[in-house]
Amino acid sequence: MLLDQTQAIEAAHQRRRDGERWGPRTLDLDLLLYADRVVQTDRLQIPHPEMTQRAFVLLPLAEIAPAGLVIPGAGSLQALLQRISSDGLRKL
């Protein structure tokens, strides 16, 4: 499964999953979208359940996403971008 593969990549970079939930980590790979599919399992939710509230996810996604991208259950990427603030973010 793709989730197992991404977690193996994290582990290869010394990612440990025994610390605080939202604490610092060496690498964090998230599966945001998988075409227009909705996946709901004990281990995985796609679309990522928090992505629509995170400017640090949506802004870079907008740079690479196809025009008119719709996030299942959330609406168009363009509409979501209009509802978030990019305050505190800077492009590196």
> Looking at the domain assignment, is residue 92 inside a domain?
no
In this prediction, residue 14 has a pLDDT band, given cuts at 50, 70 and 90, of confident
Cβ burial, residue 32 (10 Å; 0-12/13-18/19+): middle
> Looking at the domain assignment, is residue 54 inside a domain?
yes
> Looking at the domain assignment, is residue 57 inside a domain?
yes
Q: What domain range is 40 assigned to?
A: 2-16+26-83
In this prediction, residue 19 has a pLDDT band, given cuts at 50, 70 and 90, of low
Its pTM stands at 0.80
Mean pLDDT of the 3-30 span:
81
Active site residues: 15, 25, 28, 30
> Looking at the domain assignment, is residue 89 inside a domain?
no
The string of pLDDT tens digits covering residues 40-91 is 999 999 999 999 999 999 999 999 999 999 999 999 999 999 999 989 888 8
CATH number of the domain that 58 lies in? 3.30.70.560
> Looking at the domain assignment, is residue 30 inside a domain?
yes
> Looking at the domain assignment, is residue 72 inside a domain?
yes
CA distance linking residue 71 with residue 38, whole number of Å: 10
Query: What's the confidence (pLDDT) of residue 91?
Result: 84
Q: What is the DSSP letter of 17?
A: S
> Looking at the domain assignment, is residue 88 inside a domain?
no
CA distance linking residue 64 with residue 38, whole number of Å: 20
Among 67, 66, 68, 69, smallest CA distance to 51 is for 69
Among 75, 71, 80, 78, smallest CA distance to 33 is for 71
- More reliable by pLDDT, 23 or 70: 70
Number of domains in the chain: 1
Query: What's the confidence (pLDDT) of residue 28?
Result: 84
